[in-house]
């Protein structure tokens, strides 16, 4: 089916349109550069489609409010940047533990602390994965193009609904503020997934795994639908009530981790370019990967056998993709990223000594240019 | 003869975690009694709490219940209520949960006048973490982190919520159980943000350090010190001592937030159609 005519969209705008297309009808947020346009646009667009926008008193409250709305059966999202992302962590952990579908957008800016509010960075890669206490696997997607922002926002909602888990959309200032041509899909062109619901009138055990495919993800009822169930951040049993019994608690904690890690291959999306015969691999994500792509193309034109692996899903980490490419004898792996080596650390872990990893790093808002990457590759070839 | 309140409880989850003599069970009973007397449909009642001894109450109550993070119950409740305005949303919180870590959410929900009923089980102490002072611990009394006596000035939670714009504000105590049930009933029926400051004894941690070791002594203390707001007004401020007022302090009508937002939706949809 034909979509609309191509139109210029800002990344943050594409995020809002993607979210609405995915069924988001509740947004709670607190303004922070460079994510603010997402809140502003939601305040315009949501009531137009019968949805609700609220500007909460802080990011902690925003994260709490989207959990509440989701438990009441409405797809919900919040958006922020570094300082606000830090504040949201406790309640993101709550959403993971209580298995509440929701989407958290982080348009990354330079940190630590207030850092450089209007400058891009990718320094929250590890915070997205490890920012909370306790063990919990997490899903995080990282777009590099405005059009991709739209589709990945839809995907973030779909994954959150299917896996009953919070999903992080890890953007950066470049992608958030960039304007690019986007062709919106027509109605019916995108797949929208909704959470499994318990059968009406059944005795509902909100945390009980079931038989069959995806049985490790229990259905989720909505408050007010008659199930009268309990939700807590305390370690709980299949009925949702707290337990101190390690025999009950351990399977629950393991399940919220394994429901993500066991689906690694299905969840991990990536773009590959010239990887089949590459002897130098460039691994990147988000806006840095745009420069990486240009660099790899230029290097090929120079006769260098460079290849690109652009991570679209950053968490769970695509160990299998890196290990597959590493099997073909690489001279080196070059990792451009706007932080001091967070992605490189993971890549090194996957390679386990099979190839040297060279970082190309910037941390104070200056973008990584293709020339920086070309220089790094030339240093090893 | 009262009706059987156990249908509002998850009896299979009992016994509860509270100490013998704790006031929190009395407040919980007053809430379900109020719900019963109002004849609310239990399927349309959602009870939401934060963290603390008080916040464990929803786990024993047979409704949709949500036990959230410390201080954040009102923010979660705001999401539930806006997503499904037809639900009666009751927040159960403690004095630490509501007024320290959650103080910001309390004043902003009051300011918005969103239709939530917040019941603060106020024992003037952090019960769950074994007796540290809270923002309402009276001057001069003792707590595990005020071993030389409390020197911070306390909040009067009712004044705080009224100042922030809450439209129904009342106080009662576990000694005045019938009165407590009545003010909770009025709070639930009120359209807009309602707040009940329910004094509830913690003999284990507040009482033990403050010469009120027995629950009965604490209940008697409530009996002797609580005065109606009419009588309170007659006592000269210098003679009030440890006395405190109970009753309904504010009951006003003002635009309710969910209704105001519903009008935003109607306007936006109409303008959207016109385009
Ligand atoms: C973020 C966070 N900080 C601290 C705690 C520890 N904590 C648990 S309950 C509590 C105080 C509860 O006091 P109150 O709200 O008055 O409830 P009570 O136990 O007295 O009923 C604290 C500090 C926590 N659970 N989470
Ligand atoms: S510690 Fe205090 S508040 Fe907690 S259950 Fe015991 S008496 Fe009640
Ligand atoms: Mg307390």
Best interface-test mutation with B: which of A102, A224, A235 has the largest number of B CBs within 10 A? A224
Quick: pLDDT tens for B229-274: 999 999 999 999 999 999 999 999 999 999 999 999 999 999 876 6
Intervals of CATH 3.40.50.970 along chain A: 7-182
pLDDT tens-digit series, residues A166-187: 999 999 999 999 999 999 998 7
Average pLDDT, chain B: 97
Q: Is the CB of B53 under 6 A from ligand 2?
A: yes
For the record, the structure tokens of B190 come out as 């009120």
Which residues 6+ apart lie within 8 Å of A305 measured at CB? Answer: A274, A277, A278, A279, A280
Which helix (H) or strand (E) covers residue A139, if one does? Answer: strand A139-141
Q: In this prediction, what percent of chain B has a pLDDT beyond 70? A: 98
The third-level CATH classification (topology) of the domain covering A7-182 is Rossmann fold (3.40.50)
B96 CA to middle of ligand 1, Å? Answer: 6
pLDDT of residue B272: 74
| Partner residue facing A74 (CB), from B59, B69, B83 | B83
Tally A–B CB contacts below 8 A: 143
Measured CA to CA, the distance from residue A270 to residue A283 in angstroms comes to 10
Per-residue pLDDT tens digits for A47-102: 999 999 999 999 999 999 999 999 999 999 999 999 999 999 999 999 999 999 99
**How much is the pLDDT for A4?**
75
Cα separation, A291 vs A226, in Å, equals 53
3-state SS, residue A328: coil
Please check the confidence at residue A1 and state whether its pLDDT lies above 60: no
Instruction: Name the pLDDT band for B1 (thresholds 50, 70, 90).
Output: very low
Chain A closest-CA separation from residue B18 CA (Å): 15
Of A62, A64, A72, the CB nearest to B83: A72
Backbone angles phi, psi at A78, to 5 degrees: -135, 160
- Kindly state whether A91 is in contact with chain B, defined as any CB-CB distance less than 8 angstroms: yes
- Closest ligand 1 atom to Cα of B50: 15
Q: Are strands B88-94 and B117-122 parallel, antiparallel or unpaired?
A: parallel
Where are the domain boundaries for CATH 3.40.50.920 in chain A?
269-378
Q: pLDDT tens-digit profile of B27-53?
A: 999 999 999 999 999 999 999 999 999
CB distance A232 to A240 below 8 Å: yes
Hey, are the CB atoms on B268 and A71 less than 8 Å from each other? no
* Residue B29 backbone phi and psi in degrees, to 5: -60, -40
Three-state secondary-structure class, residue B78: helix
Calculate the CA A1 to chain-centre distance.
Answer: 28
Residue entry with tokens 């303008």: B271
CB burial of A265-279 (b: ≥16 within 10 Å; e: otherwise) equals: eebbbbeebbbeebb
Per-residue pLDDT, averaged over B104-115, amounts to 99
Q: What is the pLDDT of residues A349-364, one digit of tens each?
A: 999 999 999 999 999 9
Question: Which domains does chain B possess?
Answer: 5-271 (3.40.50.970)
Residues of B in Cβ contact (< 8 Å) with A166:
none
The pLDDT assigned to B274 comes to: 60
pLDDT at position A2 over 90: no
**ipTM, 2 dp:** 0.98
Of A57, A65, A242, the CB nearest to B59: A242
Q: State residue B74's pLDDT score.
A: 99
Q: Does A65 touch chain B (CB under 8 A)?
A: yes
- The residue written with tokens 């609580």 in the block is B226
C-alpha A40/C-alpha B82 separation (Å) is 18
What would the mean pLDDT of A182-202 be, rounded to a whole number? 93
Q: Name residues whose C-beta falls within 8 Å of residue A195's C-beta, 6 or more positions apart in sequence.
A: A101, A161, A162, A164, A219, A220
Q: Which two tokens stand for residue A232?
A: 């807590």
Q: Which residues pair with B244 in a beta bridge?
A: B226
Q: What is the pTM of this model?
A: 0.98
CATH 3.40.50.300 fits A269-378, yes or no: no
| Residue in B14, B58, B82 to test binding to A, most A beta-carbons within 10 Å | B82
d(CA A105, CA A22): 15
The string of pLDDT tens digits covering residues A290-319 is 999 999 999 999 999 999 999 999 999 999
Closest CB to B79 among A26, A47, A228: A26
* Cβ B126 under 6 angstroms from ligand 1: yes
- Whose atoms come closest to the Cα of B50: which ligand? 1
A187 DSSP assignment: T
- Give A-chain residues touching B64 at CB under 8 angstroms: 223-224, 227-229
Given a cut of 90, whether residue A202 has pLDDT beyond it is no
Residue B275 has what pLDDT?
59
CA distance B93 to chain A (A): 15
* Strands of the sheet with A306-311, listed across from one edge: A270-273, A306-311, A280-285, A332-337, A356-361
Edge to edge, the sheet with strand A230-232 lists: A230-232, B64-67, B45-49, B88-94, B117-122, B194-199, B168-173, B244-251, B226-228
Strand partners, B250: B169
Best CA proximity match to A371, nearest among A379, A303, A142: A379
Cβ(B121) to ligand 1 under 6 A?
Answer: yes
Model confidence pLDDT, tens digit, residues A204-232: 999 999 999 999 999 999 999 999 999 99
Please name the residues between 118 and 137 in chain A that touch chain B, using a CB distance below 8 Å: none
Contacts of A248 (CB under 8 A, 6+ apart): A237, A238
């Amino acid at each position: 089916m034909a979509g609309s005519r191509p139109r210029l969209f800002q990344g943050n705008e594409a995020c809002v349109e993607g979210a609405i297309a995915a069924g988001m009808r509740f947004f709670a947020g607190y303004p922070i550069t460079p994510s603010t346009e997402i809140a502003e646009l939601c305040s315009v667009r949501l009531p137009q489609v019968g949805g609700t926008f609220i500007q909460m008193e802080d990011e902690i409250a925003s994260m709490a409010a989207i959990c509440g709305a989701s438990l009441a059966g409405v797809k919900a999202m919040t958006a922020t940047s570094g300082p606000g992302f830090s504040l949201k962590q406790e309640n993101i952990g709550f959403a993971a533990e209580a298995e509440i579908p929701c989407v958290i957008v982080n348009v990354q800016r330079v940190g630590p602390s207030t850092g450089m509010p209007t400058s891009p960075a990718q320094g929250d890669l590890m915070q997205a994965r490890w920012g909370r206490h306790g063990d919990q696997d997490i899903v995080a997607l990282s777009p590099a193009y405005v059009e991709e922002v739209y589709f990945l926002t839809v995907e973030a909602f779909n994954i959150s609904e299917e896996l009953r888990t919070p999903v992080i959309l890890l953007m950066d200032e470049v992608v958030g503020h960039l304007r690019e041509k986007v062709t919106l899909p027509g109605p019916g062109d995108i797949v929208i997934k909704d959470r499994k619901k318990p059968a009406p009138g059944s005795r509902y055990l909100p945390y009980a795994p079931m038989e069959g495919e995806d049985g490790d993800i229990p259905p989720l009822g909505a408050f007010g639908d008659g199930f009268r169930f309990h939700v807590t951040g305390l370690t709980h049993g299949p009925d949702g009530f707290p337990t101190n019994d390690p025999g009950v608690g351990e399977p629950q904690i393991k399940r919220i981790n394994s429901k993500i890690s066991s689906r690694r291959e299905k969840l991990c999306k990536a773009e590959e370019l010239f990887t089949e015969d590459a002897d130098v691999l460039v691994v990147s994500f988000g806006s840095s990967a745009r420069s990486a792509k240009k660099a790899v193309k230029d290097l090929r034109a120079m006769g260098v056998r460079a290849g690109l692996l652009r991570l679209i899903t950053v968490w769970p980490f695509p160990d299998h993709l890196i290990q597959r490419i590493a099997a073909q004898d690489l001279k080196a792996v070059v990792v451009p990223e706007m932080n001091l080596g967070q992605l490189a650390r993971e890549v090194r872990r996957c390679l386990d000594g099979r190839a040297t990893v060279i970082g190309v790093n910037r941390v104070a808002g200056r973008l990584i240019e293709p020339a920086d990457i070309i220089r790094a590759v030339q240093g090893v070839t | 003869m009262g009706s059987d309140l156990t249908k509002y409880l998850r009896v299979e989850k009992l016994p509860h975690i509270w100490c013998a003599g704790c006031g929190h069970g009395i407040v919980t009973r007053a809430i379900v009694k109020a719900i019963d007397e109002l004849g609310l449909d239990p399927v349309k009642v959602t009870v939401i709490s934060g963290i603390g001894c008080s916040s464990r109450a929803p786990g024993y109550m047979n409704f949709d219940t949500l036990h959230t993070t410390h201080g954040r119950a009102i923010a979660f409740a705001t999401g539930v209520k806006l997503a499904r305005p037809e639900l009666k949303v009751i927040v159960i919180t403690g004095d630490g949960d509501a007024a320290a870590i959650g103080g910001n959410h309390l004043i902003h929900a009051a300011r918005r006048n969103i239709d939530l009923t917040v019941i603060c089980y106020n024992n003037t102490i952090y019960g769950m973490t074994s007796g540290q002072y809270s923002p309402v611990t009276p001057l001069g009394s003792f707590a595990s982190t005020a071993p030389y006596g409390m020197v911070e000035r306390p909040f009067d939670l009712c004044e705080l919520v009224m100042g922030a714009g809450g439209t129904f504000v009342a106080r009662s105590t576990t000694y005045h159980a019938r009165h407590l049930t009545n003010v909770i009933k009025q709070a639930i029926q009120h359209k807009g943000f309602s707040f009940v400051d329910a004094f509830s004894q913690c003999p284990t941690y507040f009482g033990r350090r403050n010469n009120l070791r027995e629950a009965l002594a604490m209940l008697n203390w409530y009996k002797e010190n609580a005065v109606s707001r009419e009588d309170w007004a007659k006592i000269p401020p210098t003679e009030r001592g440890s006395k405190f007022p109970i009753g309904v302090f504010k009951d006003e009508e003002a635009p309710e937030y969910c209704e105001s937002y519903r009008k935003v939706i109607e306007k936006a949809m109409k303008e959207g159609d016109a385009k």
